[in-house]
Structure 1
Amino acid sequence: MPEAATNSAALIQPWPVARTVGMDRLGALSDGDGIYVHDAHGRRLIDGPAGMWCVNVGHRSEPLARTMHDQAMSLSYNSPWYTSSSPSTELAEALATRAPGDLNHVFFTTGGSSAVETALRLMQFANNIRGRQDKKLLVAREGAYHGSTYLSASLNGRPRDHDWMDGADHLLRRLSCPNPFRRPKGLSLEAFEDFLVDEFRDLIEREGAENIGAFVAEPIQASGGVIVPPENYLGRMAQLCRDNDILFIADEVVTAFGRLGSVFASKDVFGVQPDMITFAKGVTSGYFPLGGVMVSAKLFEELRRSNHPDAMFAHGLTYSSHPVGCAVALTNLQLLESGILDHVNAISDYFQNSLKTLEELPLVGEVRGKGLMACVECVADHESNNPLTLDVAVGKRIDDHCQELGLLVRPLINMCVMSPPLIITREQIDTMVDILRQGISRTADDLVREGLWKG
């Protein structure tokens, strides 16, 4: 393939910076197979982040490719405004039977951002119909990532996401990140959990429950560094929502469809019953853009009982309920439930324990995760747990070394995120961890040699 076609300046990449916008040149990938991809130089690399948390069944899946072809040759598109399709109705029924509790309605979107945006707009619509026009405040956490559309991006709590971008700040209230590794020194896990719950309770008392529409939370904060909260935290936060008539929206864009060994993780993994679940990514294993929102029957029953029967939820997407995407999702669900979910549950401990051995390295502060998602966080000072501020691109340095050795890493400043395709084997995990160990060690040697770190 000509270089111009694989690495064109005409292509604007996500998250560009002003000094290089329109000039970015990212490494091109040529093809993939299973857990591997090949770059433009012909190197075979383990796809450590599974694309963007999403290639769950692996690359070059013939069943998914055949489904796309067959559905496109049957019905390539239908307008969701005045028609429906068999794949969309079949997928809706399939998800309704697998979602927890009474989450038996689904609105399909084109991805995670539009799924979260839909959930937030539905909350606003519902409160307007019920005469609660002031009940619109959104509660999110530091370190969260929920999308790139206006409302969904407003929820984001990662450093630098809001430095130069506008958002609906008047609607946002933020809580602390539930990161046990960064909890105040000397505070036990139990006391930290109490602090987080009390913080939410204080916020409700201060703002008034009548003004808070929803609490939005990833069960595990993914792009924030794979933050696994204290054990009872999510359940206690959900109870505060129930007690105060606040919708609990679980953002499962990453954790659904097998990443934690279940189709949906909120109830199966964390014992929490949300009012809505947003999903995307793994629903099609990244083969087609699709997302959605699972919505409780209770919410719709309340809307039907309202005094505004003609009130319209004026929200929709041209590609909502896309027949090709829904057909792919159905096949993907069959693949997951034909052994891949069992495999994830069988191999997750090995994955986590193998990566945990990297804590032996002086540059590594903590390895954390759950299921087949994990984060290796590097620190400069283990006593203070300070991030490695001497070289904020340490994750990128590690990724560069690992690519030379045969592994793609998802670098996040001083963190390396790993979320490989769910079909990864024990032997492939061993290879992945070995390469990551070498990459971190080489980076540490670089920092020492350059006088940036004493080791």
Structure 2
Amino acid sequence: MAAKRDPAKIAALEEDALTATARAHLVQPWPVAGSIGAEVRGGIAAGDGIYVTDQEGRRLIDGPAGMWCTNVGHRSEPIARVLYEQAMALSYNSPWYTTSEPSVRLAERLAAHAPGDLKHVFYTTGGSSAVETALRFMQFSNNVRGRPEKKLIVSRQGGYHGSTYLSASLNGRPRDHDWMDNASDQVVRLSCPNPFRRPTGMNVPQFCDFLVDEFKKAIERHGADRIGAFIAEPVMASGGVIVPPDGYLKRMRKLCAENDILFIADEVVTAFGRLGHVFASKDVFDIEPDMITFAKGVTSGYFPLGGVMISSRLLEQLRASNHSEAMFAHGLTYSSHPIGCAVALKNLDLLEDGLLAHTREIAPYFQAQLKTLEDLPLVGEVRGLGLMACVECVADRESNNPLALDIEVGKRIDAHCQRLGLLVRPLIHMCVMSPPLTITRSQIDDLVSILRQGIRLTMDELVRERLWRG
């Protein structure tokens, strides 16, 4: 009689084999030179609702919602069904000379939600390509209109806009540029609109005045005739969930309009429910941009898709130019992908059928419960909006300086939280939360409880190692 095989041992052997294969062949995103091509990261085997299961069988709350993207949660049967049905009906069509029905229907739905006259969409494959498209469109438009010198792009310190060459050049995080080439000569960078780190002695309204005045001076210094666009995340996501001062975006938008500078709202994170609306620009911040970039939540991560909403006015200007032969020589093999567009349509159904309202109702509770973590000595500030938040750790509350451990603090907290049942997005000395929109009050309580324990364990660890006085 054959001996019974232990399922746990079989799973462990399979995991070891998978780990070895990954180390041998898989190059991970954002690697460091010392381990590039030989790095192994924690494995995720399954997902359901707000939870994922790792390869060790632990069930974890997906605190970052994948990468700010699994808005409707994991294992959505309606979306899975659409993936199959669309693949069986039409798996692909070339956007160069054909059009699919899902891409047209989605364009109509997006135009209905977009603010102002943003009634047109150019589809891409993700957020980086969406930002790249918006910038190339600005360049093309100014070339066609006889303004080839109007190409400078204004971005902010702390911002993140992508990993393609031009989009990455906009990023305002120093580590992004330490070893990578970029088009820095095309970028003007302003201060980060972070009220927590405003200059000493300056209140928040004064800080807002300072930021707006800085933009005015940049326009005067470089010339409005040379600045093509200003790009901003309504809430800086990867920069640490930076919510700008009240009125800041409206005032920056006004300056752009007065100086014929395109305002690009980078809503790759803030759109599709993260702040309770399909697009946050108008409904949350009362601005009508010239373009809006989107990705991530448009399909809740079930299929790669992104895009740019473009003002009708901009297209009309091009059609009225003297260069009808000018070609916007830009496109992607997977632009307007029928499966991605079909998934996005179903995703919109789920958002409109209750998830947007649920997010608006539960977001204040989410923010309030996380705010209780400010009673921990390691926590300098908890901030956020909608269902996105950041816990920033500091060495002391008088200076608000980050801990000297730098990137290790967030990683330490994440490691403890994973053992307790929560995935955290560690960002240097910060921890970011952006769970699926389906999260409930009791699940928020679980998330905050585990995060509290993880921070406490990290505090004890730092004191033991004499790295922090507490």
Q: TM-score, normalised by structure 2?
A: 0.96
2:162 corresponds to: 147
Question: Could you tell me how far apart the structure 2 residues matched to 1:409 and 1:350 are?
Answer: 19
1:68 corresponds to: 83
Q: Which amino acid aligns with 1:276?
A: M
Question: Could you tell me how far apart the structure 2 residues matched to 1:56 and 1:124 are?
Answer: 33
Task: Please say if residues 407 and 427 of structure 2, whose CA atoms lie closer than 8 Å, have aligned partners that are also in contact.
Answer: no
Question: Could you tell me how far apart the structure 2 residues matched to 1:221 and 1:441 are?
Answer: 27
Q: Does 1:221 align with 2:239?
A: no
Q: Which amino acid aligns with 2:237?
A: A
Q: Which amino acid aligns with 1:283?
A: V
How far off is 1:335 after superposition? 0.2
Question: Could you tell me how far apart the structure 2 residues matched to 1:126 and 1:158 are?
Answer: 29
1:21 corresponds to: 36
Output one character per residue of 1:109-160: Cα deviation in whole Å (capped at 9) or x when no partner. 0000000000000000000000000000000000000000010000000131
1:445 corresponds to: 460
Output one character per residue of 1:133-189: Cα deviation in whole Å (capped at 9) or x when no partner. 000000000000000001000000013100000000110100000000000111000
Q: Does 1:283 align with 2:270?
A: no
Q: Does 1:118 align with 2:142?
A: no
Q: Which amino acid aligns with 2:428?
A: I
1:351 corresponds to: 366
Question: Could you tell me how far apart the structure 1 residues matched to 2:353 and 2:447 are?
Answer: 25
Output one character per residue of 1:391-445: Cα deviation in whole Å (capped at 9) or x when no partner. 5310000000000000000000100000000000000000000000000000000
Q: Which amino acid aligns with 1:5?
A: L
How far off is 1:390 after superposition? 3.5
1:46 corresponds to: 61
Question: Could you tell me how far apart the structure 2 residues matched to 1:233 and 1:182 are?
Answer: 16
Question: Could you tell me how far apart the structure 2 residues matched to 1:39 and 1:159 are?
Answer: 32
* Structure 2: gaps of 5 or more residues: 1-10
Q: Which amino acid aligns with 1:79?
A: S
* Structure 1: gaps of 5 or more residues: none
Show the 5 A alignment for 1:369-384.
369-384=384-399
Q: Does 1:181 align with 2:193?
A: no
**Secondary structure, in 3 states, of the residue corresponding to 1:37?**
strand
Structure 1, 389-398 or 242-251: larger mean CA deviation: 389-398
**Secondary structure, in 3 states, of the residue corresponding to 2:277?**
coil
Of residues 174, 199, 221 in structure 2, which corresponds to 1:159? 174
CA RMSD of aligned residues (A): 0.7
Show the 5 A alignment for 1:355-366.
355-366=370-381
Show the 5 A alignment for 1:258-407.
258-407=273-422
How far off is 1:5 after superposition? 3.2
Question: Could you tell me how far apart the structure 1 residues matched to 2:309 and 2:353 are?
Answer: 23
Of residues 423, 429, 433 in structure 2, which corresponds to 1:408? 423
Show the 5 A alignment for 1:235-250.
235-250=250-265
Question: Could you tell me how far apart the structure 2 residues matched to 1:8 and 1:304 are?
Answer: 51
Q: Does 1:129 align with 2:121?
A: no
Structure 1, 193-202 or 381-390: larger mean CA deviation: 381-390
Output one character per residue of 1:326-349: Cα deviation in whole Å (capped at 9) or x when no partner. 000000000000000000000000
Question: Could you tell me how far apart the structure 2 residues matched to 1:442 and 1:301 are?
Answer: 59
Paired residues, number: 455
Task: Please say if residues 391 and 452 of structure 1, whose CA atoms lie closer than 8 Å, have aligned partners that are also in contact.
Answer: no
Question: Could you tell me how far apart the structure 2 residues matched to 1:236 and 1:194 are?
Answer: 9
Q: Does 1:109 align with 2:124?
A: yes
2:6 corresponds to: none
Question: Could you tell me how far apart the structure 2 residues matched to 1:261 and 1:61 are?
Answer: 19
Q: Which amino acid aligns with 2:447?
A: M
Task: Please say if residues 281 and 290 of structure 1, whose CA atoms lie closer than 8 Å, have aligned partners that are also in contact.
Answer: yes
Task: Please say if residues 390 and 453 of structure 1, whose CA atoms lie closer than 8 Å, have aligned partners that are also in contact.
Answer: no
**Secondary structure, in 3 states, of the residue corresponding to 1:393?**
helix
How far off is 1:388 after superposition? 1.2
How far off is 1:23 after superposition? 1.0
Q: Which amino acid aligns with 2:76?
A: S
| Identity over aligned pairs, percent | 73
After superposing on structure 2, the runs of 4+ consecutive aligned residues of structure 1 that deviate more than 4 Å are none
Q: Does 1:196 align with 2:207?
A: no
2:8 corresponds to: none
2:22 corresponds to: 8
2:115 corresponds to: 100
**Secondary structure, in 3 states, of the residue corresponding to 2:395?**
strand
Question: Could you tell me how far apart the structure 2 residues matched to 1:257 and 1:153 are?
Answer: 23
Question: Could you tell me how far apart the structure 1 residues matched to 2:341 and 2:313 are?
Answer: 25
